[in-house]
Structure 1
Amino acid sequence: MSAPMSVFEEMRREQKLCDALLNVAGTQFLVHKVVLCSCSPYFKALFTRWSSSDCHNFEIAHVSADIMKIIVNYAYTGVVHVTLENLLELFMVADRFNVSGISQACCQVMEQQLSPRSCIAVWWITKKYYYPQLRNNVFSFILKHFEEVVSCSEEFCHLSIEDLSSIIEKDQLNVKDEKFVFEVVIRWIEHAPQERNKHLATLLPKVRLALINPEHFTQCIQSHILLQNNCATKAILRKTIQLMLDARTRGSNISLLPTYLAQPRLPCAVLVAVGGWSGNSPTNSIEAYDNRANRWVGVANSDETPRAYHGSVFLNGSVYLIGGLDGTTPFSTTHKYDLVNHTWQEVAPMHSRRCYVSVSLLDGFIYAMGGYNGELRLDTAEKYSPEANKWTVIGCMNELRSDASSTSFNGKIYICGGFNGEQCLSTAECYDPLTNQWTIIADMGSRRSGLSIIAYANEIYAIGGISGMARLNTVEAYNPSTNTWRAMPSMRNSRSNFGIEVVEDRLYAVGGYNGFAPMRRVESFDAQTRVWSEVRHMDVPRSALSCSLVFDLPNMADYAAPHSAPPEDNPTED
């Protein structure tokens, strides 16, 4: 509170020089006109334009005394306490009186309290009251959490045709399978079929029907009773079938077809592959994998030094590259790529040079473990604080490890396998940051160097690598609760020194070395079906790369497959 306002507040409490009396629901508020004028154009107009200067008594209708007290206190102190109990009434009254400070405080609370259950109701509020930033943020929340919103929001079935249409037409709609969008449309129509059947022809073209599994499309969609009785939707179904046949005949990715019905949604996260060994030297190539489109997208990158056998993590909108080598010299450097501004920055270096390094992220810190410094295999480890821009040495591992792999799970770092200078390792250990101690855990079933490990489906998967005698396609999973490993389905391809990430509940093995050359091949594993499947290959063959999962970027479209403009009102026409 400024000094002049504190004086006014003291005078109000002592009822000195007050020149207005507000009568609100049986309660009276003695105030100074000039103070209320300073925070509210409504009161400025009331005191100066809608009444004479000698008028001192004012009836304020349709406001509770409790809310008026909050507004008066805010006028004098600049402080407002918004609670869930007073939020809605306070927001409406603050809007009526044009008290922008309180309105913005209410908007912040509404945004902080957004949930799948409440977001549609808040969205409706923003249609009545003009707060475009809140409206846009709420709409983005609905798109991002659409599956949860549909499952738990009581208001969903009461959306207007315009509201539902504006949601499901967006590329930003976050759905794993387009059949869910179709089911949403049917559910909305069946809530009031007599008045909503006519909207099928408007809504159905906004579903990316050609991306639905052809078998499911034939069995569950093409034969749906609501669609069979609608002439307009039959034309859409015929076009979808033709698109599916065209893609199968050409043997092409259906998402490449130039039609809205086959246009993938924007991914909520992309897998970014950085650097690696390609041909006879390291590369600085960066590619992003859009799993919704099953396509790799090249990322413009002219500034970064080619590197391989490095580590990477994504944190706060940037990918950090740690260590590695340029073909001859191991690095101690840390480079940061800002994915929003497309800029590189070199930050604090590590204490040691490390190629064949293992890197993980835990609780906002980046951990770098083991590796090779050009002379020795290392058992040392260190962690980086982005806020302090500083690396700090932590406890040493129990073994020398280069070409190992690490991951974080349930507050600890796990590292497995690697090479100690004499043999490939089957040993594994975990680090507890609370004690700064490494603890030996159960050995893997196989010796593995150049492996990849990752937390997936509540276990830690150890995949591929080289045993010292053969390159591996085998997979095993560790259960920290029982300290045991179990065999899992093998990959389709043997590989070592490859990238790994989890995108939307699927595990991806990216590139690597097959014993003859760096690979372009990528495959994914579904823990529910326990099946490995080939997906779109990278454009650049590479081993010794590093992968990160990138998410929550305002410019996610920069790293996704190209998208066309929204459809016309009648997208059944080519």
Structure 2
Amino acid sequence: MPHDSWKYHRMGEIEGRLVVGGHDGSLRVLTYGHDKWDKFVTKNGYISNVVCHQGVCLLCVEDEDKDQFVIEQFYLNEDNEWRFVTVLPNQLQLYGVSVALHDNSLYVVGGETESGERVNTARVFDLHSGHWYKMDDMQTKRSGCSSVIINNTVFVGGGETDGACSSNIVECADVRDRKWRTIPSTTTYWPTLTSVSNRLVWTGGMTQQRFYSPSNIVELYDERSTKWLSLPHMTHKRWAHAAFSTQNGELITAGGEGKGRSIESLKCD
């Protein structure tokens, strides 16, 4: 796949197109099989999350102009314009939140305050009604974590806890009872979670809690044995990167710290 000098931090897929967002506030779109990126620029701020669903790209934008955190949407097949969705409530005016989408509901977890205090809050935004709902608090306070929803279960892992320590703790909650429990921790700290063919996979991260030590490890969670199983390693070591699975089950990782310009993929059968 093509790459340029831009770092990729969040990704999704819309109708055969790769959508990536970065800390420079840019959204870029790549049609598979092409070698040119189309670029769309957000407001002054940076994109902390990208989720794609039914032809719509939903973004969590940390808007520096208004000093607030907003959810916006972008229709690739219509007028190529941003449309405001909602401002995150006061309790979620946080840096480094993680967002996942399930059945037209956005799950917003973690983050940190302006003073740098990490939180363990979790909220749900119903895109149809426009209402916010509260989940139980997570067991771990963290910001910059990754989240993914698989078979009605939201998984949250990685990120940074208070004291500038990276986390390898993975928590999950059923979207119906919204109560959190832990599963076995990942081998590395601050990995990126994603779903591949409805199975939980983590990639990369750091081999040490407090030091810059990126990893290329990839593992899949086996629910029967409750163990992490090894998959082929990535070519490049990276952490705080983007990862997602295409509709045909191909795992794609990109950007982050370590190899900010590279994109690589693994076919998972």
TM range (shorter): 0.7 to 0.9
CA distance in 1, matches of 2:201, 2:51: 17
Alignment of 1:23-422 (within 5 A): 299=1, 301-302=2-3, 304-308=4-8, 310-324=9-23, 331-347=24-40, 349-355=41-47, 357-371=48-62, 373=64, 378-388=68-78, 389-398=80-89, 399-422=92-115
Give the structure 1 partner of residue 174 of structure 2.
Answer: 479
How far 1:336 moved relative to its partner?
A: 0.7
Which of 510, 527, 530 is equivalent to 2:203? 510
State the shift of 1:395 in Å: 1.2
TM superposition shift of 1:354? 0.8
Larger relative contact order (Cα-Cα within 8 Å, sequence gap ≥ 6): 2
Pairwise CA distance, 1:537: 2.0
Q: Name the CA shift for 1:383/1:354 in 2 (closer, same or farther; >3 Å).
A: same
Alpha-carbon spacing, 1:532–1:491, altered in 2? closer, same or farther (3 Å): same
Report if aligned partners of 2:152, 2:175 keep a CA contact under 8 Å in 1: no
SS of structure 2 residue aligned to 1:449: coil
> Number of matched residues?
245
Task: Give 1:530's aligned residue.
Answer: 226
Instruction: Give the unaligned 5+ runs of structure 2.
Output: 250-263
Name the residue aligned to 1:276: none
Deviation per CA, 1:424-450, whole angstroms, max 9, x where unpaired? 110111111112333332211110112
Identity of aligned residues (%): 20
Code of the aligned partner of 1:482? D
Q: Which amino acid letter does the alignment assign opposite residue 480 of structure 1?
A: V
TM-aligned CA deviation for residue 402 of structure 1: 2.3
User: Deviation per CA, 1:115-138, whole angstroms, max 9, x where unpaired?
Assistant: xxxxxxxxxxxxxxxxxxxxxxxx
Distance in 1 of aligned mates of 2:100 and 2:140: 18
Contact kept in structure 1, 2:21 and 2:50, CA below 8 Å? yes
Per-residue Cα deviation, 1:390-439 (whole angstroms, up to 9, x for no partner):
21111111212222211111221111001222211101111111123333
Q: Counterpart amino acid of 1:392? A: R
Is the 1:377–1:402 Cα contact (8 Å) retained in structure 2?
no
Note the residue ranges of structure 1 that are not aligned, 5 or more in a row: 1-298, 325-330, 562-574
Q: How far is the alpha carbon of 1:384 from its aligned partner?
A: 1.0
- The structure with the larger Rg is 1
SS of residue matched to 2:128: coil
CA contact (8 A) 1:362 1:413 kept: no
Distance 1:492 1:323, change over 3 A: closer
| Secondary structure of 2:161's aligned partner | coil
User: In the alignment, which residue of structure 1 is the partner of 2:261?
Assistant: none
CA separation of 1:482/1:541 partners in 2, compared to 1, >3 Å: closer, same or farther?
same
Query: How far did residue 370 of structure 1 move?
Result: 4.3
Residues 432 and 346 of structure 1: CA distance in aligned 2, closer, same or farther (over 3 Å): same
Residue equivalent to 1:447? 141
Match of 1:249 in 2: none
Superposition deviation, residue 552 in structure 1: 4.7
Q: Distance in 2 between matches of 1:540 and 1:457?
A: 30
The TM-score normalised by the length of structure 1 is 0.40
Corresponding residue SS for 2:20 = strand
Structure 2 residue matching 1:542: 3-state secondary structure = coil
Relative to its length, the structure with more helix (as a share) is 1
In 2: Cα distance, 1:427 partner to 1:542 partner: 27
Quick one: distance in 1 between partners of 2:158 and 2:185?
A: 9
Corresponding residue to 2:244 among 539, 544, 548? 548
CA distance in 2, matches of 1:536, 1:529: 20
- TM-score, structure 2 normalization: 0.81
Other-structure match for 2:194: 501
